[in-house]
Structures are given as C-alpha cells and as structure tokens.
C-alpha cells in the first residue's frame, strides 16, 4: 500500500518538473524577456527577500485570516440552510428561486457593490469570500441530504426517532462526503475571491502584493504570490481530505 502511495506521489511530481524545465528553457532561449517571464533564480531570490523582510509571511497571514473568516461563515450558513432545504420541500421552494438568481451573478460583479455598502475595510473582503464560498457548500449539502437512502429514513421513522436524531444518525452521516465536496470547492473559490477583493481594494494581503508588483513591473514577486496561494490552497485542501478520511472511515 505504501509503495503504491509513493508511486502516485512520484507520478504527481512529473508535470511540475516538466513545467519548470519548460520555464527554464523558455527563458534561456530568449523566447520571453525577463520582464515578462523572470528566470527561476530571480523568483527564488524574491521569495527569500520577502521571507527575510517579513512581507510574505505578513501578507499570507492577512489573506489567510480573511479566507478563514469568510469561509467559516459560509460553512455555517451553507450547511445549515442546505440541511433545511435538503430535508424540507417547503423551505426549499421558499428559497430556491431567489438563491438560484443570486448564484448566477459573478462574484466580481458583487465586489463594487459590497465595497459601496461596507467600505474598503475587512468586512467587505470577508463578505466577498463568504458569498463566493456559500453556494458550492449550500448546493452540495442539499444534494447530500437528498441522496440519503429512503430506506434509512423509513427505518428511523419506524423506530420513532426524533427529527434531531434522524438528522444526526441518518441524514448527516450519509450526506457528509457530499458536504465535504462542497467544502473543498468553497475553499478553492475562497482563495479566488480573496485575491480578487485584495486586487481591487486593499493595502495588504497576497492579492494586494500581486497588484503592487504588477504596477512596479516585478513579475518575480507576482509569481511568488501566485505560488504561495497555490501552496496554501493545496495544503488546506489536503487537510480537509484527511479530516474526511478520519471521520468517515467507511468511505475509504
């Protein structure tokens, strides 16, 4: 089993190595000037400089805090409302039309209005992240609740379980894998949203640093910011996967 996992991990490294090689060859051949695609060494030096100065760590902490605040709010609202909509036809009918209409509006279209309402402080950025992450979590929670086997629900009714116990023992365990799909999708979109919000109105954070580097013509700093987002996103996604495997061993 461990050998199989190691082989999968090694296979996953092939494409990044190919990308790095293509990057290096493109720069060395003069296909792209350094102002557009900097050498790998320049990006590495920019990373070290930003680490030494504390800029990168500070920006990561600011963006991570914003993501967690908006994301956790989205989890609470999305799972709660998704559970109600997935288990009650009346509640579902009440909310579906309005929420489906709001869901079609791109998150970028909301940013100017949210800034107008909440200003350029932390609240607006958290609101953007919340709105972006909410719908994937909501939709997958609804789907998970509705996919609960009817036989299990009938058994719960036969044993006269209360609504709370039916949810706890039947609906929630059955829907949990699908809920985690929504959590992972919401997490990825949260990083997109925080960068978008910071690009438009912020004085700190990874998105702000990328925007500032663009205006200063520092592509190496921009790439450091992009890689940082990728690493953070993958790490948090992996953490969610490990949590799911721990609490749903029957799904392995």
Look at residue 20 and tell me if it is in a domain: no
Q: How far is CA 161 from the centre of its chain?
A: 36
Distance CA 40, CA 42 (A): 5
Q: Is the model more confident about 145 or about 11?
A: 145
Look at residue 209 and tell me if it is in a domain: yes
Enter the tokens of residue 179: 């809920």
Reported as a single tens digit per residue, the pLDDT across 86-114 is 989 999 999 999 999 999 999 889 988 99
Distance CA 98, CA 103 (A): 9
Total domains, the chain: 1
Look at residue 127 and tell me if it is in a domain: yes
Indicate the pTM of the whole model. Answer: 0.86
Reported as a single tens digit per residue, the pLDDT across 192-224 is 998 888 877 778 899 899 989 988 899 999 999
Instruction: Give the residue-averaged pLDDT of 30-45.
Output: 89
Find the domain containing 125 and state its range: 55-246
Look at residue 71 and tell me if it is in a domain: yes
Look at residue 1 and tell me whether its pLDDT is greater than 80.
no
Q: 87, 144 in Cβ contact below 8 A?
A: no
Distance CA 148, CA 8 (A): 32
Look at residue 44 and tell me if it is in a domain: no
Look at residue 154 and tell me if it is in a domain: yes
Which of the four pLDDT bands, split at 50, 70 and 90, describes residue 3? low
Look at residue 163 and tell me if it is in a domain: yes
Look at residue 130 and tell me if it is in a domain: yes
CATH number at residue 155: 1.10.3720.10
């Amino acid at each position: 089993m461990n050998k199989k996992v190691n082989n999968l991990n090694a296979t996953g490294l092939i494409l990044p190595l190919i990308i790095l090689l293509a990057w290096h060859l493109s720069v060395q051949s003069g296909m792209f000037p350094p102002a557009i695609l900097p050498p790998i060494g320049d990006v590495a030096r920019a990373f070290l400089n930003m680490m030494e100065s504390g800029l990168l760590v500070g920006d990561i902490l600011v963006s991570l805090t914003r993501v967690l605040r908006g994301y956790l709010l989205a989890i609470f609202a999305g799972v709660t409302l998704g559970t109600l909509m997935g288990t009650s036809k009346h509640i579902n009918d009440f909310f579906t039309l309005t929420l489906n209409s709001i869901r079609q509006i791109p998150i970028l279209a909301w940013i100017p209005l949210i800034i107008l309402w909440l200003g350029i402080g932390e609240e607006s950025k958290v609101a953007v992240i919340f709105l972006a992450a909410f719908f994937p979590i909501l939709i997958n929670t609804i789907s998970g609740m509705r996919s609960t086997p009817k036989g299990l629900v009938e058994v719960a009714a036969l044993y006269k379980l209360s609504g709370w116990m039916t949810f706890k023992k039947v609906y929630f365990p059955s829907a949990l894998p699908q809920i985690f799909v929504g959590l992972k999708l919401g997490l990825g979109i949260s990083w997109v949203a925080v960068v978008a919000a910071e690009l438009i109105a912020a004085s700190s954070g990874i998105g702000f640093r990328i925007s500032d580097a663009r205006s200063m013509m520092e592509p190496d700093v921009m790439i450091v910011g992009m890689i940082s987002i990728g690493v953070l996103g993958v790490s948090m996604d992996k953490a969610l996967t490990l949590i799911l495997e721990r609490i749903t061993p029957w799904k392995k």
